[in-house]
Amino acid sequence: NAGVTQTPKFRILKIGQSMTLQCTQDMNHNYMYWYRQDPGMGLKLIYYSVGAGITDKGEVPNGYNVSRSTTEDFPLRLELAAPSQTSVYFCASSPNGRQDTEAFFGQGTRLTVV
């Protein structure tokens, strides 16, 4: 059972370049999330989705875009990469909107913008 799969694992971007971080899950979960993790800052929510075709902003959405055309996939798009976007990005999913339900995480994408 693959769970949540993120690609790539590592990437170096130049300032101003664009890229898409891929996330797919095979658990038929409705909820999906993108977080960024910076040292000593914990996890900050970028965007989330409660189902195919529905997305919403989280705490730190500026500089990012998402789409959710299928239940399985939730790609994160970076347009015009900036050094402030250097971070580790985690995709997560959960089956429903219940408060007692855990989130399942991918292994992360380490992005460096130079």
Partner 1 sequence: AQSVTQPDIHITVSEGASLELRCNYSYGATPYLFWYVQSPGQGLQLLLKYFSGDTLVQGIKGFEAEFKRSQSSFNLRKPSVHWSDAAEYFCAVGGSGGSYIPTFGRGTSLIVHP
Binding site for partner 1 (CB under 8 A): 4, 31, 33, 35, 40-43, 45, 48, 50, 58, 90, 92, 94, 96-103, 105-108
- Structural contact between residues 34 and 55, judged by C-beta atoms closer than 8 angstroms: no
What are 68's two structure tokens? 């959710």
Query: CB-wise, 16 or 71, nearer to partner 1?
Result: 71
Least gap, CB of 14 to partner 1 (angstroms) = 24
Query: CB-wise, 62 or 102, nearer to partner 1?
Result: 102
Least gap, CB of 106 to partner 1 (angstroms) = 5
- Structural contact between residues 89 and 34, judged by C-beta atoms closer than 8 angstroms: yes
Query: Could you tell me which residues come within 8 angstroms of residue 79 by beta carbon, excluding any fewer than 6 positions away?
Result: 18, 63, 64, 65
Tokens 């890229």 sit on residue: 19
Least gap, CB of 88 to partner 1 (angstroms) = 10
